[in-house]
Amino acid sequence: MTLFKKKKKIDPAETTQMIRRVLSENFSDHKLSYAKAIAGSLMISGATVFVGYIMRDVINDIFYKQRADLIAYIAGSILLAFVLRGLGSYIQAVQLAKIGNNLAAIYQKRVFAHLMKLGLNFYNDHRSGHLAAQINQNIGGMRDLMNMTITSLARDAVMLVGLICIMVYQEPYLSLYSLLIAPPLILTVTYVSRRIRTVTREVVHLNSHLLGAMQETTQGIAIVKAFTMEDQLRGKINGLIELAETRSNKIASVSERVTPISEILAGIAIASVIAYAGYRAIAEQQPPGTMFAFITSMMLAYDPARRLARLQVSLERALVNARMIYEILDLQPAQSDRPDAVELKVQNGTVRFEDVQFAYHAQGTPEHQQVLKGVSFIAKAGETTAIVGASGAGKSTLIALIQRFYDVNDGRILIDDQDIAGVTVNSLRHSIAYVSQQPYLFEGTIADNIRYGRPDTTEEEIIEAAKLANAHEFIIRQPQGYDSPVGENGVTLSGGQRQRLSIARAIVRNAPILLLDEATSALDNDSEKRVQQALETIMKDRTTIVIAHRLSTVVSADKIIVMEAGNIVEEGRHADLISIENGIYARFYQLQSAPENETLIG
């Protein structure tokens, strides 16, 4: 499996554009907080620069000239400088923490809201565990990007410029010599930044695969243990962990190359200055105050210079995270509303397919898997239309297309003569109640999961829906009744119980069109009969499209459509279809007619 794709080379203009985009989207919302953080940073910078400047007076006036009258003034000013420095550090840290936390929350909300807009084709191409882990890692990078930019500009850059000015004021020629360390340091940072960019993206992908694999393993732990897959999966997880460790070590090795080089260059510069200052003090009897002030300023300037030198390396890592977040946010929903989309108005609920063709696009290849080949039929209002056929015939695809989980490649789907491609997705799906073949329950209580069908559902309506779905009896036996937590994906409930809650959710939806994707497949015979009776009650006066594997559930349907290899091959009522000699439906029905031979289609 290939984890990484070759990425195009990123030019500096794209980096600048990314920083501008993040700032433009977020700075105005945090202007006051950033103003406070910048004020704190300037307090730190000003106090630090002052300490470098005052050292000349400390050495010359107190120790060299021994002026006792200046001790209180100078000592008090230094104390005030450190008080301001401490206060500035507190203000900056608190404000940047608040901004960072808010940015993380904002981007979590933005990404989740955007993910809700993306179509099923996106989720078919991205594994949920990997996606969640990747997003979680990259959100932190967005927060760091803003904080590093503000901190570096308002604190480190101002502090460094101020201290350099003090150095130039004290010793212009020595200052020029000291600044000779800049070119080799810049070259080193540029080299490291290029290396760090690629490795960081690889680490994000690796960690997302690792966390995703762990999540999938815990979710499928029953299968893992049933098939004794522990050693096999342990080997897979260990391989990913070791690969992630290797890449993380590579990042540490590359990014930390800046540190020894900057330390060596700074050491050369400081040692040379001290040697020169010592020579002047001994040979020329120069007062040491100016030189001490210069050396102090130079040493104080080392920390902001070192942080600024590492800034590009740190920014590259944060920018990789930002790019990966925006790669998601910039994706256009495949089933977005047209500019001229209107609200769907359902009068009767007739669903019409007109020569519909559809193919799934295979990820990573130009190939298309043709599923529907010119399908045309009408599901009349208030009637039940059943879709039967072998696995892979295209039955579930029909249900998905009606809800615009995908868009047709050719042809049209109409509801009451309105092309669903021209109506808003929200209004379309609000007109449909859907029960899938694999019921899914969300974190929360039993009542919460039923209420997802319609948020304003009352408690009485929830109980009534549960009774119709034959769920009330097992619900009241739960420890907390309707307020019982369902566990992760309903792990505390049986498959049949989860399906009945899914049916109750569709009942409270109270939509004019009902889609049932083998809604009773997970039920035992007794529950199936009772739920089938409940479904027959709620199916009255609704347009119902049923995908059926067990033909006994659709014998009373108003119309049965038989599909094979993406085509409709037979159509009619049960009595008509079983009378067709050598007919596909008749053959299926004969296979299932004997009680001891409950064969399922597909």
Which CATH number do you get for residue 155?
Answer: 1.20.1560.10
| Per-residue pLDDT reduced to its tens digit, 470-523 | 889 899 999 899 999 887 767 778 877 888 888 888 888 888 999 988 777 656
The whole-number pLDDT of residue 13 equals 65
Q: Are residues 361 and 410 in the same domain?
A: yes
Measured distance CA(81)–CA(60) in Å, rounded: 20
The number of beta carbons lying within 10 Å of the beta carbon of residue 512 is 18
Tell me which of 329, 363, 395 is where a domain ends: 329
Whole-Å CA distances, 412 to 21, 264, 402: 40, 72, 10
Residue type, 430: H
Measured distance CA(254)–CA(191) in Å, rounded: 9
Which of 139-143, 286-290, 453-457 is predicted most confidently?
453-457
Q: State both tokens at 532.
A: 């089938």
Would 317 be classed as within a structural domain? yes
Contact 133, 208 (CB under 8 A): yes
User: What's the pTM?
Assistant: 0.71
- What's the pLDDT band for 387 if we cut at 50, 70, 90? very high
Which CATH number do you get for residue 381?
Answer: 3.40.50.300
| Per-residue pLDDT reduced to its tens digit, 31-54 | 888 888 888 888 888 888 888 888
Tell me which of 278, 294, 329 is where a domain ends: 329
Q: Are residues 25 and 127 in the same domain?
A: yes
Average confidence (pLDDT) over 139-166: 77
Q: What phi and psi values does residue 418 have, to the nearest 5 degrees?
A: -110, 120
The whole-number pLDDT of residue 353 equals 95
The CA R_g of the chain, rounded to the nearest whole Å, is 35
Whole-Å CA distances, 337 to 421, 424, 427, 452: 8, 5, 11, 23
Q: What phi and psi values does residue 361 have, to the nearest 5 degrees?
A: -85, 125
Residue type, 485: P
The whole-number pLDDT of residue 453 equals 84
Q: Are residues 57 and 178 in the same domain?
A: yes
Q: Are residues 586 and 546 in the same domain?
A: yes
- What's the pLDDT band for 189 if we cut at 50, 70, 90? low
Structural domain that includes position 558: 349-431+542-602
DSSP codes joined into one string, 582-596: T-HHHHHHHHHHSTT
Whole-Å CA distances, 55 to 59, 75, 172, 179: 6, 11, 17, 21
Of 554, 499, 494, 490, the residue nearest 531 (C-alpha): 499
Q: Are residues 319 and 376 in the same domain?
A: no
The whole-number pLDDT of residue 600 equals 46
Bridge partners, residue 351, by sequence: 379, 415
Measured distance CA(95)–CA(35) in Å, rounded: 9
Measured distance CA(198)–CA(481) in Å, rounded: 53
Measured distance CA(16)–CA(210) in Å, rounded: 32
